[in-house]
DNA sequence: ATGTGTGAAGTGCTTCACAGCG
DNA sequence: CGCTGTGAAGCACTTCACACAT
């Protein structure tokens, strides 16, 4: 990448090269670390010292960052404030994102009030459910529970781009399709089922059941035959 | 694997070959599908028809399964009931596992009552917290909230092997270490922080913040410069 | 001297393609 | 014939190692 002609870091706009999902996830980790460093008053940081914090290779960090431009200073490292700003922009955290949570059960309600989801850059607009008894109420944190039939309307009016699916497995696929039709562009699926995605909608899965079973698998192996 | 000498499927015990984490996760997916098939009364299934359900390659499924023995019948496929039983055993879901949830906040409480976590094979024993006002109460589903200082005692007495970390980032590392010392052998970390693990303790991460930011990243790219 | 940016090598996962069993 | 089990090829991600900028 960027072979031959020098690349203008000032352009602030990376090429459309495909970025691996793993790289993208690490960018979030770097950003989190840079937040801490900035709070601690650290001015510059090297890829090596970043790598030491998590168990990562310094070359990997440099490669990840190099995908988007030349942010480092040879012989010095990266300027914390600058890199932080760049990563924030690259991750698309400068503009605010509105989020809808589909399913006002235990998990949905908890996610609506969960601090980690209300981080700067994200705003939980509403919970949606089909249960009459829940509609009209609010979560403990004050997020309103709306009728799922109003989804398309709210998505359009509030410019919701992200949906979090927190419903039982059976309800997941139809709701996903409904959300996609409503104009949702990214979905985080907590339902324990494999969804059939569609182009134009990014789909990520957090399958708690599989994670737990995975732990059981490792335990079984560790305990031996 | 198993080249030369034929391998006895009847032994029911796989070699100690290293199994990739990705493979292990797919085993859970297969098992879930087999549950459905068995309920639907299907007798046998081919790797191809399994592959069609999720977007997977049939060779991958065969390879995944072949790691643990020869479960298939050439020209026919896999006998649903048999494969299901084998996968259940391989994933260590025959014996019951006791689980402790550390942190009785929004997320911890929701996870304690979440259906997906109380699946056959797992039992949520208790929530643990340090907040006096929470200790002694129970979750809506009836899971008791105990003083975190009693963790080691309960882990020993109730044979808890899995802990779910649902606490703020700052509290995660000390609690993880405490759990490890108490005899916990597997940890599922929801705290938005990179933990320093230790040998003998399996550590899996579910970082909701990173997942959300990842969606934002894809949105930002899709929307273009 | 120090630490980035990056080809090249290394490693591991996925897919192909086919021998061979039922 | 149909489908598994599996070497080999393909592809992707990681790590190495060093030229080169400051």
Which residue would you say has higher pLDDT here, A6 or A206? A206
Pull the structure tokens for residue A62. Answer: 């440099």
Average pLDDT over residues B118-147: 94
A117:B212 CB<8 A? yes
Average pLDDT over residues A184-196: 96
According to the model, what pLDDT value does residue B158 have? 98
Mind giving me the DSSP string for B182-194? HT--EEEE-SSS-
* B57 CA from C17 C1′ (Å): 14
Confidence bin at A224 (pLDDT 50/70/90): confident
* B74 CA from D2 C1′ (Å): 8
B210:A25 CB<8 A? yes
According to the model, what pLDDT value does residue A5 have? 27
A20 touches strand C (CB under 7 A): no
Mean model confidence pLDDT for chain B: 91
For chain B, positions 130-149, list CB contacts with chain A under 8 A.
Answer: 140
Q: Given A99, A110, A204, which is nearest B110 (Cβ)?
A: A110
Answer positive or negative: Cα dihedral of B65, B70, B74, B80: negative
> Closest nucleotide (CA of B59 to C1')?
C15
Average pLDDT over residues B184-199: 95
For chain B, positions 111-130, list CB contacts with chain A under 8 A.
Answer: 111, 113-117, 119, 121-122
B32 touches A at CB < 8 Å: yes
According to the model, what pLDDT value does residue B101 have? 98
Please tell me the least confidently modeled range out of A35-44, A117-126, A142-151: A117-126
Check pLDDT > 90 for residue A119: no
- B199: exposed, middle or buried (C-beta count within 10 Å: 0-12, 13-18, 19+)? exposed
In strand D, the nucleotides that come within 7 Å of a protein beta carbon are 1-7, 12-17, 20-22
Closest among B205, B193, B179 to B126, alpha carbons compared: B179
> Closest nucleotide (CA of A74 to C1')?
C4
According to the model, what pLDDT value does residue A18 have? 86
According to the model, what pLDDT value does residue B119 have? 65
The 3-state DSSP composition of chain A as helix, strand, coil percent (nearest 5) reads: 45, 20, 35
Stated pTM of the model:
0.91
According to the model, what pLDDT value does residue B16 have? 62
Average pLDDT over residues B43-67: 97
According to the model, what pLDDT value does residue B5 have? 27
- Distance of alpha carbon B214 from its chain centroid, rounded? 22
């Amino acid at each position: 990448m960027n072979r031959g002609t020098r690349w203008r870091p000032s352009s602030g706009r990376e090429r459309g090269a495909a970025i691996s999902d793993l790289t993208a996830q690490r960018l979030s980790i770097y950003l989190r670390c840079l937040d801490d460093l900035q709070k601690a008053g650290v001015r510059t940081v090297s890829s090596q010292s970043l790598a030491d914090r998590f168990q990562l290779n310094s070359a990997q960090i440099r490669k990840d960052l190099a995908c988007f431009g030349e942010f480092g200073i040879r012989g010095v490292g990266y300027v914390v404030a600058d890199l932080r700003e760049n990563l924030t922009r690259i991750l698309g955290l400068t503009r605010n994102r509105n989020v809808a949570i589909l399913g006002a059960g235990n998990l949905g309600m908890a996610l609506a009030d969960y601090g980690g989801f209300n981080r700067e850059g994200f705003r939980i607009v509403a919970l949606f459910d089909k249960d009459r008894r829940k509609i009209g109420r609010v979560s403990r944190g004050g997020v309103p529970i709306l009728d799922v039939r109003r989804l398309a309307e709210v998505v359009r009016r509030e410019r919701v781009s992200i949906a979090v699916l927190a419903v039982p497995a059976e309800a997941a696929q139809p709701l996903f399709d409904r959300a996609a039709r409503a104009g949702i562009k990214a979905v985080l699926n907590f339902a324990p089922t494999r969804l059939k995605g569609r182009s134009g909608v990014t789909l990520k899965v957090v399958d708690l059941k599989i994670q737990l079973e995975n732990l059981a698998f490792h335990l079984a192996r560790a305990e031996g035959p």
